[in-house]
Amino acid sequence: MDKIRLTNMKFYGYHGVFAEENRLGQRFNVDITLEVDLAEAAATDDLTKSIDYGDVFSRVQKIVEGEPKKLLEAVAEQITTELLTAYSILQQCTVVLIKPDPPIPGHYDSVSVEITRSKVKNG
């Protein structure tokens, strides 16, 4: 399966368990891997046979900068659901949602979750 990757997308959102996170917000980085057959797009040089990177970015931005969630897992799940629904040619989607400098005791560079979801094939 071919892959499209969008890496280190940066957003500002209000997700987290702590009230300060919901009030003050913080940075989030997102990496996306889209698994799709790109043979037709490559052969025809036709964007309609692929996935528009700008559209992916906009959809992810709307979610990460949108309604606050408590858990990174919930945000990542919402992103995978949105992308799998939006693109009929998309077979599998992996989202890595990174919270740099999390407000937890200790010395952490970041925390992250990685979720992979696939379309269910019938028959």
Positions marked catalytic: 99
Q: Are 90 and 35 in contact (CB under 8 A)?
A: yes
R_g of the chain, CA atoms, integer Å: 16
Separation in Å, CA 10 to CA 29, 44, 66: 5, 32, 14
Separation in Å, CA 118 to CA 17, 71, 112: 28, 21, 20
- CB neighbour class for 106 (10 Å; exposed up to 12, middle 13-18, buried from 19): exposed
